[in-house]
Structure 1
Amino acid sequence: MINITFPQVRDDWSLDVVNILAFLGEHNIIACSQQICMSWTCFLPRLIPAPQGLLAQRPKKLASEDETTVTGVWTGNNRPVLQYFGRMLHTDGSDLSPFTTRLLKIQWDSAIKDKSLKKRYPIRPRLFSPMNMIAVLSCAMTFGLAGWALALGDAVALTGILVMSFTTPLLCLGMCWTPRMVPRYRPTRGLVPPGTVVIKSSNGCFTVVECDEQIARLLYFHPEYIDYAVSSFTGRGLSGTVGGLTLVGSIVLFGNAVWALKAALAVTYTVLNLLYWVAAILPVRLSWHIDLTVSQPEIIEDHSFTQCLWTTIYHTKKIDWAREYVPKTEVWNQWLLEAENKVRLGVELESWDAFGALNSLLKERHKPE
């Protein structure tokens, strides 16, 4: 007869799994590392799962959306990618149906204009962001565990908790960063040049963003480089080496803690892993305070790329930007000139068959002599 038993007393349960839990969740920490290390809360001493993930990447620029082209309608500026902050405010349009035109309007926050806060940047870390709240919560949990270890007289667990909690800010030091940004909004004498941009996604969608030139430069054309608090050698070398040693030491200490503290550490790391997993899938915008307002998008769906292009030209009132997206042929050049003429004459959007006009030009071009 098979005899199946479970441990009868508490101490028969082995909780060495706490050493594994301390290293689980590295993927979530890597995904959240930039948001973790851009705020002062990254220097709070606290437990964090898989802290080695904080130094896994150290990019020179913020992530951008490839296969997307951004063109200034009036300035002629061009970027082959949609930059980080522009993508944060709105998608590139690839989530829309093919051949869709999306109209947006981005303006400075009216409250900012009234206050004229010139010393602050228009995009900065949000105080009550998910990462900051997790950091404060984990700091409180860490010192709660340290207090319990002190009450139980477990010097090994207390030392391990303190060593591990101070490893986190040491590793964050190597990754702490701020975005290199243009100065915030200032009232400009005279007229501010229009900064309307057109964004083309990989599925043939166009997004027309109506904004001034300062906003266009901030969101779409200013290089989004990263300024780190310390050099790469100091960050990944010194703090990484020292942090790695303290990390290993604290894991050894955790393995020699009393059963009650091991159980508490296991629960703590499980909760923190869950919190960082949730934080990794939240919108990045929740981590930033933005002094800009974005209008509700107006969506116009068409049946072909040609009709979609005409819709976009109709709303931008110019064709220079569109030459990049059509073949360099005489037929397409004639079609663009005809589209520009229709706009100048004030023709209604639906009254001109752009697709039919292109077909007529093609037939005329290839008509037998």
Structure 2
Amino acid sequence: MTIEDAPWTGRAGFAALIAALGGAEQARIVGGAVRDTLLGIDVADIDLATRLAPATVLAQLEAAGIRAVPTGLAHGTITAVLPSGPVEVTTLRRDVSTDGRHATIAFTDDWREDAARRDFTMNALYADPATGAVFDYFGGLDDLAARRVRFIGDPLKRIAEDHLRILRFFRFMARFGDQADADGLAACAARARDLMALSRERIADELLKLLIVRDAVRVVALMVERGILLPVLPEIEADGVERLKRLADDEQAGGIAAHAIRRLAALLPADPGIAHDIGARLRLSNAQRKRLESAAMPDRGDDPRALAYRIGVDAATDRLLLAGRSAAALDGWTPPRLPITGGALVARGVSKGPLVAATLKRIEDAWVAEGFPDEARLSAMVDEAVAQTLTDDSSPNA
């Protein structure tokens, strides 16, 4: 099997990069670019593995006039900046020691040794940059054909080396897999509590990626069934998976892109307090926390556009879909700005200060309630509101 006809092999500067590294004897394409090409998926990033030491890579790229950035020098990674985009070049490695979160590595010139430290067989495929011939050391081609995500070696040992592989196993299954590898699934279930040793940022990053991939609903259901998420998110309710399924179906039916925070909210109780706690626990960004808490607010049956005007289109879309309501009214719609200012009210005799703010609020509420009517109707609303304010302000009890 080869990948010689892959369109990305003709990227500007790629052939020069391979030549600078010493050709196919010293450099091979590795990982996602090989896997995705064989699956017929568009390739976003290209990674190269090389037998050359990092210092040698730097020297040879600079000698060839290729800009080289030592983005991960301690781990052997140099980024070659080509006219067509960056390519990461990493020296072959082997693990010296691991603790579940970090690995101490040593460089090697053995392709199989480098492949053995990778997580799944489908990620340990290498390709000759000249001929496209694929090198497979652990049965990755068969697993790829079967759409099976399988650990290289003993799954329990591989999870002990890096606990994040538990979540990666399920993310890759949701993205590429049609079947669960029984040994891998059993190992992930047995070691689920190992996730607690990871930083919450790493957990959140993997989980949010998983929630929006191709087969997320089925795989998340499997994770909940096997107790994988219990140590991290014990708040997930029994019917959370069913809510996630309904949400995913509604997203697809409405042509609405999946959003990880919205899908996370579907799994959780509709409780802003719980959402706040989980956002803090997973160390989500401020924007992500705000969106999760908003999504957890109860639906009050507001008109979709009125709701979007108040809280924003994204937040309104979340709340509508999670309530099982249509968000079609928001498709392509941008909330308008209220076309009246406090200065205009002052010019019409409203006293500066609280009266202006109260009058503007009265006008805005009426304008939103009537569905953002045209200028003529707005003018009438302004007349009514100003008249009412001036009447109230001049009354003996004002």
TM bin (shorter chain):
under 0.3
| RCO comparison, higher one (Cα < 8 Å, 6+) | 1
Q: Normalising by structure 2, what TM-score?
A: 0.22
Q: Normalising by structure 1, what TM-score?
A: 0.23
